[in-house]
Amino acid sequence: MTRAKQVYRLPRWRFAVICCALAALAATLMGRLVLLQVTDGGQGAVFLREQGALRTVRTAEIPVYRGLIEDRNGTPLAVSSPVVSLWANPQQLKDSPRLENLAARLSLDAAALRDKLRFYGDKQFMYLARHQTPDFARQVLRENFPGVRGEREYRRYYPAGEVTAQLLGLTNVDGHGIAGVELAFEDWLQGVSGKKRFIKDLHGDAVRDVGVIEEPRPGKALALSLDLRLQYAQHRELQRAMKETGAIAGSAITLDAWTGEVLAVSNYPVFNPNSRDALDFSGARNRALTDAYEPGSTIKTLTLVAALESGQFHIDSIIDTAPGRIRVGAKMLHDPRIMARYRYQR
């Protein structure tokens, strides 16, 4: 004995309700798409434009020129020259078969370059060589190594080299003062970088500038009381004296007796601030300003001048210094060579 199958039929009204609900949902989705993609004035369109801009428009710094340092006669002592820093996108370069060619072109160790690319593997930026000459950078970029690009920067150059090294100091690779006048007047010399917007492609390359957001403000020029001609002459004399005496270090300062202005400051040993690859900081100390020393006989000139200006002595006066000692406070000071009478002409 068999039982007839029972078939359940959906009421027509319920089927109609489901169809209407699906149609309404589809209409809502279509309307939303039209609002977002076609209509220009809706919030959705604004949102999409902003999201698109975030993915294609970037902000970059505009490098700024560091202020010139010059002597009292307007002779340049420190200038900023344009250079190009080469960088790469590790994600595009790390698997390139031309990696060894690039390393040889930049005088880099290929194995070390591979290790560096692996270290920056999840990044899109890595410096390859900083502060290259524009001609050399153009030659490298012309070879179209994958992911290799260049950006303009400035490098500090000191025309007088070691002659003014300790006084002027130097800047680091990013152009900020780290010693000497460069550090002391950092805020005055540095300036403010500008900002610009640019459109990038899928590889991160700039394809078109959109506009300048903020104009760069170059650093201000700085004029010192230094006279470069006297500085050179004093530098030569100090070197000569060092050779004659066999001293390991020395300093010399020339001042304007009337104004107190510093006209020249020399130190030894020295270093060349323009040779960053072989920079030796053992000669970077400005001994004339940082080292303590006993004035000794150098104070005698000031004492004699003060005596003459007092009006109580003249150029032919004889000063009795016997018995060669004097008490100053709790200490007795002795003259190493007793001279009963001292004449100005000596």
Question: Which residues are part of the catalytic machinery?
Answer: 297
Give the Cα separation of 4 and 20 in Å (integer): 34
Q: What are phi and psi of 93, to 5 degrees?
A: -95, -30
> For the chain, what is the HEC assignment?
CCCCCCCCCCCHHHHHHHHHHHHHHHHHHHHHHHHHHCCCCCHHHHHHHHHHHHHHEEEEEECCCCCCEECCCCCEEEEEEEEEEEEECHHHHCCCCCHHHHHHHCCCCHHHHHHHHHHCCCCCCEEEEEEECHHHHHHHHHCCCCCEEEEEEEEEECCCHHHHHHHHCEECCCCCEEEHHHHHCHHHHHCECEEEEEEECCCCCEEEEEEEEECCECCCCEECCCCHHHHHHHHHHHHHHHHHHCCCCEEEEEECCCCCCEEEEEEECCCCCCCCCCCCHHHCCCHHHHCCCCCCCHHHHHHHHHHHHCCCCCCCCEEECCCCEEEECCEEEECCCCCCEEECCC
Q: Give me Rg for the CA atoms of the chain.
A: 38
| 230 CB neighbour count, 10 Å cutoff | 15
